[in-house]
Structures are given as structure tokens and as C-alpha cells.
Chains A and B, each alone.
Chain A
Amino acid sequence: MLSFATRRFGLSLLILFVAVTVMFLMIRAVPGDPVQIMLGPRATPELQAQLTAALGLDQPIWKQLLIFYGNLLQGDLGTDVFSGRSVTDIVFQQLPFTLELIFASILWSASLGIALGAYAAAHPNTLIDRIAAAISVSFVAAPAFVVALLALLVFAVHLQWFPAIGAGEGFWDRLDHLVLPAFAIGLSWVGYIARLVRASMLEVMGESHVRTARAFGIAERRVVMVYALRIAILPVVTVIGVGMGFLLSSAVFAEIVFARPGLGKLVIDSITTRNYPIVMGSVLISTALFVVSTALADLINALLDPRARTAH
């Protein structure tokens, strides 16, 4: 188990390293002088030279990369071109908003999805099972940002049940602001998780420990809830871990649609102003988040199911 964990995290680090290097080289390969873009056409040559030196752009590319990694290891992602603030500070200031949104989305969609899937598996081929199946296929198909826009239109603009803009202040207000974006992000997951849980439930229900539990005369409700569901839930963990990238992507759109602060809004704003250090920093952090969560999901899976340890 330990050797699996080491190998898995080693691989994650390698992937992250390659990804960041590629990203770095891509940014440097862009045509056009970033200094000129930042300062505008009316900057003096002295000013340009000063900024070029400050950004380290006068060094050869391999040295820039080394310096970048040196700073990165010290938790320094560079400085914002316009405000001069540390990119690390800016990114980590926005990150909690995005994480809050992602967790809220997972929480509601996983609970509803698991309940729906478990119920469908316990009553296979009934009308409710069929309806659940149809709903899950349809929900899977709905892209988060379209749902977000339609939800904004119906529930915020027309019905005015929920606020349309921002993240709110204070616990209840924040919760109120979370409802619509979390709904939009989570909707496609409900169906997906329901289908997953249903399939794995049906498999688990046929296994011997469930049969034994039944033979002992344990109430059906308890058999389903305690003996079957506990095992059937495992694939959901992996799927959520691997789905982190999707969740992040949906969060970007939800943040734009509902004008919420967060990583997504930060990236979009910095792209329009060509603030490359911030773009780089946010993409780096979100990639790291994704790589780590995928690795964690693999580890949890390996911990619970020894067969998965040799699979990779």
C-alpha cells in the first residue's frame, strides 16, 4: 500500500511538473512583447527596460524557468503586473469562494444521487426506477453554464427567489447566494451518481454477505442501508475525485454567470487584461488541485479495494 501511494504521488508530481513547464513555455512563446502590452504604446524605453528586468524577461529561457521553479518552491507565484501584489495572495484569496461552491455542489448532488440510485436499485424495474433512469440520462446532458443561465433567468430575474449577483456576507446570506450556482453545477451530477450507485448497488445486492444478512432475518431496510449501500458508495468517491476537473470547469462558468468572486472570475478578468502572472498562477493552482484530488481518489480506492493497487 505504501509503495503504491509513493508511486501514485510520484506520478502526480511528474505530471504536474510537465504540465507547469509546458504552460510556462507556452506563455513565453506567445508572439508580442508582454512588457509592451502591459505598459501600452506610450511607454518610454527606460520604463520598458525597467519592467523587463523586473519580470526577469532579459534572462535566457532556461534560467527564467529555473527562477520560476525556485520561487514556486518557496510558495511565490510572482507578482501581479498592475497592483504589484503577490499572485499567491490574490489566488488564495479567491480560492475559498470556488471551493465553497464546489463542495456545496458535491454535497447536494451526491446525497440526492445516492438516495435516488439506492432507491432505484432496491426497487428495480418499478415505475420509479424507470423515471429515475430517464431523469438521470436527461440531467447528465445538461451543461452547467446553460443550466446556470436558465436558473438565473427563472429564479433570480423573474421569480426573484434568490439573489443574482455576488457571494453574500454572513452565513445565511452566503448560503442564499450559493443555492442557484450550486444547483446549476450539481444538476448533471445527480443523474450520473444515481446511475453509478444503482449499478454498483445491484451488483453488491447479489453478493454473499448481503445474502447472509438476509438469511439472518435482518430487516430489508437495514440490509439495503447498512450492508449494501456502504460498499456500493465506493465508486462515487473515485468519480468525484476524477470529476474535480469538471467541477472546476463548471465553477468557472457559474462564477461568471452569477458574478461571484472566485478562481474562474479571476482567470477571465486577468485574461482580458493580459495579466499573465495571474492566469499562470490560477491555472497552476487549479491543475494542482485536480491532480491531487485524482491521486487521492485513487488512494482511497486502493485502500478500500486491494485489487486496484496493481491496476495502474
Chain B
Amino acid sequence: MEKSHSELGQIIVGVARDPLGLMGLIIVGVIVFCAIFAYWIVPYDPIAMDIKSRLQGPSSAHLLGTDQLGRDTFSRVIAGGQVALKVALPAVFGAMAIGLTLGMIAGYGPKWLDNLLMLFFDTIRSFPTVMFALAVVALIGPSLQTVVFVVMATSIPTYGRVARTQTLTLRNSEFILAERSMGASMARILGVHMLPNIIGVLAVLAAMDIPTVIALEAGLSFLGLGVKPPTPSWGALLKDGYSLIRQTPWLVVGGGLPIILATLGFTFLGESLRDVVDPKLRKQR
């Protein structure tokens, strides 16, 4: 454990030395901080209506103005970050865990299983993401869980394919052959010996995947097919802002900028992480 601790420290130092990486760290840090402490940061209840002060511009009372129901936009932006991470984190980790398992099995198991899993991956990938999302939402109805499910399902193949390729290149290396000749089970070989060698690459993928997930959640909520009102979400802010675009620009700005900022932060972080963890990956993608 001691060794991996210092490795993690080295990675963080490496990212912080890179100017883009440092910027990514700061942006992501601020977003995560705001999401965790959203309850204490928001000046108003994000779903409390106040019809008397509806559709106001920015002022000292309402930093980003108010929406058509008099809800404070700034409070909704902060609370929306919490929703975004609530969708993104479980979806990304779930997809990573499932993709990793399936990918390792595909790379290590028998050929027919490999072919079957690859067909499964290719099939999921063959749906354009949003079309798939729309179809699923149409069928099982919009909710936070639906969004998490859709996002998970659509990103499993990416992790699966990378895990498979890595497993394929490792399966004939000496330390795996040695384990096998000593009669280690498949579960042991994959879990104890393959996993530590693959997880780093997948973690980088996950960091770069988070922006896509956040954008998809916001997109679905924008279409009215994501989280349900009155839950504050960046996408929902954009939805309200879109219908009121001629009355007030502040809802679109308030919903749009955090999404761009979040994508920017996670992309910077992911790129920098990739360069530090595995410079070779840059060529592969």
C-alpha cells in the first residue's frame, strides 16, 4: 500500500506541474467543493418560489437573477452541480466496473466468448448515443435513474474495448504464464494480476468520460427527458432559459457556463492525467 500511495502522490504532483492540468484540478476542485457543500453555499432554497421577484436581472440580492417562478438562479446553478455529479459519478464508475470485467473476460476467456462480447459492444456502439437515450427514455420514462442507466449502457463498450486490448497484450507475458503454470484460477489471475495493470488506463478514460456524461445529462434534462422538475439541474435551467430567451438571457448563461466550465475542467484534468500516467496512450487514441 505504501508504494501505491507515493505513486498516487507522484501522479498528483505531475498533474499540478502541467499548467493545463493545474487549471483542470482547480476547476474540478471548485465544482466538487460546491457540489458537496451546496447546502451551505446557496443563498436561497433552489426550489423555493417567489413570484413577486420573478424574471429579475442580476443584483446584489440575486447574483444571477431569478427565473419565471422567482427562484434564485445562482442557487439553482450550485445545486445543479450536485445533480450533475450525482449522475456522472455512479454512471462512470458503474460503466467502468462492468466494462472492465467484461473486457478482461473477453481478452482472457475463450475465443467464442470474446466474439460474443465484441458483438455486444459493437451493437451498443452502433446506436447514436442520443438516439439510444431518447428511445430508452421514451420506453421507461424520464428519471435520474434512467439517465444513469443510459449513460452507463452507452459507455460500457469504450471501457470494455480498452480493457480487452490491454488484457490481450498482457495475457502472454511471463508473470501471467508463471501464475498459470502454478495453477492459479482465472478469477485470481484477472483480479490480482491483470487488474492493477489495467486500472490506470481506465481511470484516465473515466476522467475524460465525465464531461460527456455531464453533457448528456444536461442534454436530456434540456429536452425535458432527464431529471424531473423542480429538481435543479443545469439542463433544466437551459430548458427554462430557452423558452424565456427573449425575456432574460441569464438562465441560458447560468445553465450553459457551468457545463462548459465543467467539461473544460475534466478534459484538462484527463489530458494531463493521461500524459502523466501513460504517455503512450496519446498515440493510441
Contact = CB atoms under 8 A, between A and B. Distances in A.
Interface in A108-146: 137-138, 140-143, 145-146
B242 A150 contact: no
A291 B138 contact: no
Most buried by A among B241, B246, B256: B256
B122 A11 contact: yes
A256 B128 contact: no
A141 B264 contact: yes
Nearest to A256: B223
Contact of A271 (B123, B137, B268): B137
Contacts of A287: 126-128, 131
Contact of B138 (A18, A146, A152, A279): A279
B211 interface: yes
Contacts of B131: 248-249, 252, 267, 282-283, 286-287
Contacts of B138: 271, 274, 276, 279
Interface stretch (B6-14, B184-192, B214-222): B214-222
B72 interface: no
Contacts of B256: 146, 149-150
Interface in A284-312: 286-287, 290-291, 294
B139 interface: yes
B123 A19 contact: yes
Contacts of A189: none
A39 interface: no
A21 to B, nearest CB: 10
Interface residues on B, range: 35 or more
B51 interface: no
A26 B119 CA distance: 18
A279 B203 CA distance: 35
B252 interface: yes
Nearest to A30: B139
Contacts of B263: 141-143
Interface residues of A, number: 49
Interface of B is mostly: helix
A141 B211 contact: yes
B18 to A, nearest CB: 12
B63 interface: no
Contact of A253 (B119, B130, B246): B130
A289 to B, nearest CB: 8
Contact of A267 (B134, B211, B253): B134
Nearest to A294: B126
Interface in B202-248: 211, 215, 218-219, 222-223, 225, 238, 241-242, 245-246
A143 B259 contact: yes
Contacts, number: 125
Interface in A202-253: 244-246, 248-249, 252-253
Given A138-B264, A271-B137, A279-B135, A146 B126 contact: no
Contacts of B253: 150, 153
Contacts of B123: 15, 18-19, 22
B26 interface: no
Contacts of A264: 130
Contact of A286 (B128, B222, B271): B128
B267 interface: yes
A137 B268 contact: yes
A27 interface: yes
B130 A252 contact: yes
B223 A26 contact: no
B178 interface: no
B280 to A, nearest CB: 14
A16 B249 contact: no
Interface string B114-132: 0000010011011111111
A22 B120 CA distance: 11
B119 A153 contact: no
Nearest to B214: A143
Interface of B: 20, 119, 122-123, 125-132, 134-140, 211, 215, 218-219, 222-223, 225, 238, 241-242, 245-246, 249, 252-253, 256, 259-260, 263-264, 267-268, 271
10 tightest Cβ-Cβ pairs between the two chains A and B: A249-B130, A143-B215, A245-B128, A141-B263, A271-B138, A248-B128, A141-B264, A141-B267, A146-B256, A18-B123
Interface of A: 11, 14-16, 18-19, 22-23, 26-27, 29-30, 137-138, 140-143, 145-146, 149-150, 152-153, 157-158, 244-246, 248-249, 252-253, 256-257, 264, 267-268, 271, 274, 276, 279, 282-283, 286-287, 290-291, 294
Given A137-B267, A153-B252, 18 more contacts: A26-B139, A143-B219, A143-B260, A146-B238, A149-B238, A149-B242, A150-B256, A153-B245, A153-B253, A157-B246, A245-B128, A245-B129, A252-B130, A268-B223, A283-B127, A283-B134, A287-B126, A290-B126
30 contacts: A15-B122, A19-B126, A19-B127, A26-B136, A26-B139, A30-B139, A137-B20, A141-B263, A143-B219, A143-B263, A145-B218, A145-B222, A145-B238, A149-B242, A149-B252, A150-B252, A152-B245, A153-B245, A153-B253, A245-B125, A245-B127, A246-B128, A248-B131, A252-B134, A256-B223, A264-B130, A268-B134, A279-B138, A286-B131, A287-B131
